[in-house]
Chain A
């Protein structure tokens, strides 16, 4: 079963760049790393997904080193509305069952 580790919380100020790192062992060869954002009383929302190196979309960048045992979500110029919990999700082949394991989540608080 994949075990993922994220910082419990982070604070930032509006306009700053925020980097959140997730550590994950036992990632399967074919599995991708996906980051989600969750606001209170809502389901998680997809942010970005990658397999290796760097991926960028209109809201974030994802950096994955060659060994793929970690990943870093980068949010440029955060705003107050980015205050949320951020999760990394990786797949893990555990015998015959595919166990999708969310990290413990990082509570990001953006301050004015």
Chain B
């Protein structure tokens, strides 16, 4: 257990539905990351936050995806109008951040999304 929790662990939904995932990072961590991972592939960066500010967003992130970190603590990732191609493991990670580029990320267990 890294101290990063994600909820739910599994989600099955029908195509066209909206889903929302939650991530609770390690409490003193300023940075929070979202990744997507499909079977046999490495994690694909989606976005990250420094405190409550969303600093970076992947060019691959569709307009159907949105993420928030309203008070700089937990974060939510919402996918609207889900498609079968959205089926994947969604990983959250947190890190201390700071001025240095050195950045050890602690990953949560992930939320596995299946879109039928």
Residues of A near any B CB (own CB < 8 A): 28, 30-32, 34, 36, 41-46, 49, 51, 87, 91, 94, 97-105
Alpha-carbon distance A105/B40, docked complex (angstroms) = 8
- B42 adjacent to A30 (CB under 8 Å): no
Closest to B42 in A: A102
Closest to B102 in A: A32
Is B74 engaged at the interface, CB distance under 8 Å to the other chain? Answer: no
| Known A102-B42, A103-B42, A104-B42: A46·B56 in contact at CB below 8 Å | no
- A102 adjacent to B109 (CB under 8 Å): no
Q: How many A-B contacts if CB must be within 8 Å?
A: 65
Alpha-carbon distance A64/B57, docked complex (angstroms) = 29
- B33 adjacent to A100 (CB under 8 Å): yes
Chain B at the A interface: SS class: loop
Interface centre among B2, B4, B103, B109 (most CB of A within 10 A): B103
- B102 adjacent to A51 (CB under 8 Å): yes
Closest to B105 in A: A46
Q: Which 4 A-B pairs have the closest CB atoms?
A: A43-B107, A102-B42, A100-B45, A30-B101
Is B62 engaged at the interface, CB distance under 8 Å to the other chain? Answer: no
* Residues of chain A lying within 8 A (CB to CB) of residue B25: none
Q: Which of B41, B42, B44, B57 contacts A97 (CB 8 A)?
A: B57
